[in-house]
Chain A
């Protein structure tokens, strides 16, 4: 038997649940065909179209024709997708294979009642309600496996509103494998993309713009890290894999979408690499040239294509997809490392801005691995099937 107090508590809980439910099924606004710059309370785009009136952006409505893929819909990706949705992006394509968990609630965007749903489905529902004008496709799979990677490439290649390649890929994943997979795909497809990341200690982050062949790809150098000024020896990892803060993730998502908008709508300068150190409020920026000896064969191929082009000016025209005049103050294509590095540089010798370093170094002579003396496997007489059988019978 329940007491009156218990029943009252239950009623309150149910009322709260009902309210949450109703707020989610309540009808949103109707679709809008054309972005209007009319300043009325009912126009969701009036403040964005004001960017045009103020002369910041030439043609804001163009955003309705553009398609962006967001890979990873976690702490950074979900906020990124929401910002683009509110900006009225034409099409969003979301990739993730994770589910919403209560452990995600220290980050923005997802809500407790969504726990258990796939991140892409939960995100698509929320985003569609915020802005029904955006076309949203959601893919719930891991892009790093063989079959899924092919599907991923096909979607990037033909997923735009017009059936062509998407305008930009945004990497918001949380692991090296997925970043490398995106890098592989974008080098092969000659697809411009942004890499983004937040460190596992939650106090630094970065974004990096990758134009295959023109700027360093993700495989051109070991992963870059923003120095957190924490002595690595004092960094305790006992009992946990990773920490996260909504602040750092929100800031990185903000940098990412800001540069995405600048790139897509051709205003301001797009930063090639922007780091963020939370403990010191330090924001290093730099440009990185691709590594001629990059491990990725398609990166090297894109580099030779870029080198075969006539003038550096073309780099700038590539950014604006239409024939509108190039911003004269665009510092595009000017690399910080051009000035002071001799031609015959050691490729492992990256010219990094203060406060950014490689996570680890890879010796140039990779001939003798430091930790193995067991010799190499000898060519086997046995077939793969026979070896599989032998292993199974052990």
Chain B
């Protein structure tokens, strides 16, 4: 099952209430507000725990999301671009989070850099429709993925540390 720290993180993210997808016009605006509230709370929690590790924003329609996430390994901070679309079947199906910069660099991805989720993700998501939102998908899907895959990719030399705002090799 999901590990204890992920479980704890999840439980501190507020639950959403509005069951609405991007085709639901006004209800979708309500859902989006809840999404942002949950995300803001989650980032606040992370900051308070000195573990600020992602930023996200969306276009006006709330269907296209993009941002960055960071992973610290051996005191070095690695940064990745993050993006996904909200499918019309949301929130019944979770968003497919993608790290396009890592596309083709690991087998634990589908086309377009979509991360390969663990077997726990889909059942847990399905049982919590519509209460889980984007913040939960990030915590339950992306967090554990980075924790397993990034150290491995660094070790294999697939990704290397890039000094911020400096031209590197």
Contact = CB atoms under 8 A, between A and B. Distances in A.
Contact of A391 (B36, B88, B127): B36
A180 B61 CA distance: 21
A371 B88 CA distance: 25
Given A360-B123, A366-B127, A384-B29, A374 B13 contact: yes
Contact of B57 (A149, A175, A391): A391
B146 interface: no
B23 interface: yes
A4 interface: no
Given A146-B63, A387-B40, A388-B57, A177 B11 contact: no
Interface stretch (B69-77, B102-110, B159-167): B102-110
B22 A146 contact: yes
A375 to B, nearest CB: 6
A241 B116 contact: yes
B33 A384 contact: yes
Given A371-B128, A387-B40, A295 B32 contact: no
B121 to A, nearest CB: 11
Given A241-B109, A372-B10, A372-B131, A391 B39 contact: yes
A145 B122 contact: no
A390 B58 CA distance: 12
A359 B107 contact: no
A374 B11 CA distance: 5
Interface in A219-247: 219, 222, 232, 237, 239-241
A175 B14 CA distance: 28
A218 to B, nearest CB: 10
Given A362-B126, A371-B128, A391-B40, A184 B88 contact: yes
B38 A377 contact: yes
B7 interface: yes
Nearest to A146: B22
A375 B38 CA distance: 11
B131 A369 contact: yes
Nearest to B115: A241
B6 to A, nearest CB: 9
A369 B93 CA distance: 16
A177 B111 CA distance: 14
Contact of B15 (A177, A360, A372, A383): A372
A144 B88 contact: yes
B15 A181 contact: no
Contact of A241 (B2, B93, B108, B123): B108
A339 interface: no
Contacts of B58: 388
B17 interface: yes
A309 interface: no
Interface string A356-394: 000110110010011111111110101110011011101
Contacts of A384: 29, 32-33, 36, 62
Contacts of A366: 127, 129
Nearest to A174: B110
Contacts of B47: 394
Contact of A145 (B87, B109, B110, B116): B87
Interface string A136-157: 0000001011100100000000
Nearest to A143: B88
Interface string A146-182: 1001000000000000000000000000011100110
B61 A376 contact: no
B119 interface: yes
Contacts of A240: 107-108
A377 B14 contact: yes
A98 interface: yes
Given A240-B108, A384-B36, A369 B128 contact: yes
7 contacts: A144-B88, A149-B23, A376-B17, A378-B37, A384-B32, A387-B33, A390-B40
Given A184-B88, A376-B14, 9 more contacts: A180-B93, A241-B109, A360-B123, A372-B15, A374-B11, A374-B12, A377-B41, A394-B47, A394-B55
Q: Which 10 A-B pairs have the closest CB atoms?
A: A360-B123, A387-B36, A144-B87, A241-B116, A180-B89, A377-B14, A369-B128, A377-B37, A177-B93, A149-B88
